[in-house]
Structure 1
Amino acid sequence: MKSVGIIGANGYTGSELVRLLVFHPEVELKCLFSRSNSGTKISEIYPDLSGICDMELTNVFQNVDILFLCLPHKESQNWLLQNEVNKESLIIDLGNDFRLESQFGKRNFIYGLPELNKENIKSAKSIANPGCFATAIQLALLPLASANLLQDVYTTGITGSTGAGQKLQSATHFTWRNDNISAYKTLTHQHVEEILMNVNAVNSGKVQFNFVPWRGDFARGIFTSSTIKCDKTLEELKLLFKNFYKDSLFVHISEKPIDMKQVVNTNKCLIEIEKQGDFIVVHSAIDNLLKGASGQALQNMNIAMNWEETLGLKLKPIAF
């Protein structure tokens, strides 16, 4: 059994990791770190964990075999500077500190999108987990990039309130969010650089990527739609996608219209392709807290530890 620690265990992604890891047959939770809730049982903050995990949160770090960093963006670096982590420990960061700048001290963080980077993840000791929108959008675009079919891309995507984190904000109040949607960070979302870093590395020409994200009136899930000019037939495109993901255990190409409830509470990404005239639209759907965060982190752990990739992630969607 490998020992596991979660830094920032009291947040949404941290608590989702707890929910997944307590049932994982190869690991044992040893340290749930939280400065703000030290001394409180995790099940007192998240009653859904009652009887499943009643560990106390602590502000005293103890070294473990596998360490997940579930901290607000730009705080992982500070935490690592203040705490000495065993050099042999596997670190998986769920923030955005190391996605673009991979070198940190003696550690080199591998970008943790398994469908793109599995071979490098297998030998990694440091992994930068992708962002939620970045995951959904890259999985929709990478097969096209591999065939050099991308030039101008126009993407819209809608996400649930859990994507904004646990800290209450004006745009996450129930009275504001309910029966309401709004665009935010139009063309300036922090995941744009991350998406372009990988798509441009695969595509032969530079991609012009235009992204408008939306806040949805639901708790969890992401649904994106990317519009691209393309002269390939729909049948050719479906074959391209199926071949690209033939060895991917969590990405599925749907022949029918997809919806978000098909992926919520799973580590799956569903993709649907439509074509009208000279334009295609690629839809993708994920759970922002699982395939977009904690589930993908667990998937990366399994790959890096040479365990079955689906271990702890055989989950049924909440369909109703």
Structure 2
Amino acid sequence: MIEIGIIGGTGYTAGELIRLIIHHPKTIIKNIVSKSHPGEFIHLIHQDLLGEGEIENIKFTRDLSKEIDIAFLCSGHGQSRKELNNISENIKVIDLSQDFRIKNQSVFNNRNFVYGLPELQKERINKSDNIANPGCFATAILLAILPLAKNKLLKKDIHISAITGSTGSGRRLSDTNHFSWRNNNISAYKIFQHQHLQEIEQIIHQVQNNFYSKIYFVPYRGNFSRGIITTSYTHSILSLERNKEMYEEFYKDHPFVKISDLNIDIKQVVNTNKCILYLIKEKNQLIVISIIDNLIKGASGQAIQNMNLMFDLDETCGLKLKSVRF
């Protein structure tokens, strides 16, 4: 069994990570660290864990166990470097913050972090001991445009809009995730400046080094709890049928990405590790709609997918989840 430690155990991503791990057949949770709630039962914070077996008897600890195989860092952006100072070099690490996603920031304390998008570099993840889990927007957007980059077909600017649920803002209360503000409301934010844009641009240039155009990204706050829907469009000389064939070929060995012949909606992926894509062609523009669950494929599920690859397990292990459709 893979023995797991989690740092930053009270947030949404940690809660989803725990929920998935306790039903993973090859793992066991050794301890969960919370600096704000040490000594408290975990199910009192993550109340959906009530009645879920042994997890009811586990309390948050102040420090990470040294007797673990892998640590998941869920402390939030800017905290992971501090946490790594206290983690033994023989312990594998998956970081769910943005601290190590950018190449010039990916080396720290003799650890070299690999960008953990399995559909891009499965073999590198398999050989690595340190993974930088991608951002949720970045995951949905990259999966929508990677086949074009791989085939050197990105010739013009890429325009992207995307809407995320309130859980994308984290558990801490703020004006823009308060119910009274969020309900029956929607707003754009960080237009052309969202932090995930940097990792999106980095990966696109890595895959297609002759891409010289711009990526314009407009994110929106949605009035729902979880899920992301993105719409990306760019110039394409290929027919819709040829584009679909190219996408099917690119993702044929990647079990969590599906191409739909029908229009898609967020409820198809909530509570799953899937990404579903829908392609449309209008005149000379290829439009790709992408949907994921921001807390699973966009965070904790993808982290477990990466762990599976690191330990030579089937990447779908513990992640065969069905959506909550109604």
TM-score interval, normalised by the smaller of the two chains: over 0.9
Size of the alignment, in residue pairs?
318
Q: Does 1:183 align with 2:188?
A: yes
Partner of residue 91 from structure 1, selected from 90, 93, 97: 93
Q: Does 1:113 align with 2:117?
A: yes
CA-to-aligned-CA distance 1:269-293 (integer Å, 9 cap, x gap): 0000001111111000000000000
Distance 1:207 1:259 in 2: 29
Alpha-carbon contact 1:112-1:128 (below 8 Å) kept: yes
**1:157 alignment partner in structure 2:** 162
Deviation, structure 1 residue 205: 2.1
Partner of residue 173 from structure 1, selected from 173, 178, 185: 178
> Could you tell me which amino acid in structure 2 is paired with residue 268 of structure 1?
K
> Could you tell me which amino acid in structure 1 is paired with residue 171 of structure 2?
Q
> Could you tell me which amino acid in structure 1 is paired with residue 241 of structure 2?
E
Partner of residue 59 from structure 2, selected from 56, 61, 70: 56
Gaps of 5+ in 1: none
3-state secondary structure, aligned to 1:247: coil
**1:78 alignment partner in structure 2:** 82
Distance 1:25 1:51 in 2: 18
3-state secondary structure, aligned to 1:240: helix
**2:6 alignment partner in structure 1:** 6
Q: Does 1:196 align with 2:198?
A: no
Alpha-carbon contact 1:199-1:207 (below 8 Å) kept: no
Deviation, structure 1 residue 31: 0.9
Name the Cα RMSD after superposition: 0.8
**2:17 alignment partner in structure 1:** 17
Distance 1:42 1:206 in 2: 49
Matches within 5 A, 1:33-48: 33-48=33-48
Deviation, structure 1 residue 206: 2.1
> Could you tell me which amino acid in structure 1 is paired with residue 198 of structure 2?
E
What stretches of structure 1 move > 4 A for 4+ residues in a row? none
Alpha-carbon contact 1:31-1:58 (below 8 Å) kept: yes
3-state secondary structure, aligned to 1:170: coil
**1:128 alignment partner in structure 2:** 132
Alpha-carbon contact 1:200-1:207 (below 8 Å) kept: no
**1:219 alignment partner in structure 2:** 225
Alpha-carbon contact 1:96-1:131 (below 8 Å) kept: yes
**2:297 alignment partner in structure 1:** 291
**1:312 alignment partner in structure 2:** 318
Matches within 5 A, 1:264-279: 264-279=270-285
3-state secondary structure, aligned to 1:292: helix
Alpha-carbon contact 1:143-1:240 (below 8 Å) kept: yes
3-state secondary structure, aligned to 1:293: helix
Gaps of 5+ in 2: none
Distance 1:245 1:95 in 2: 26
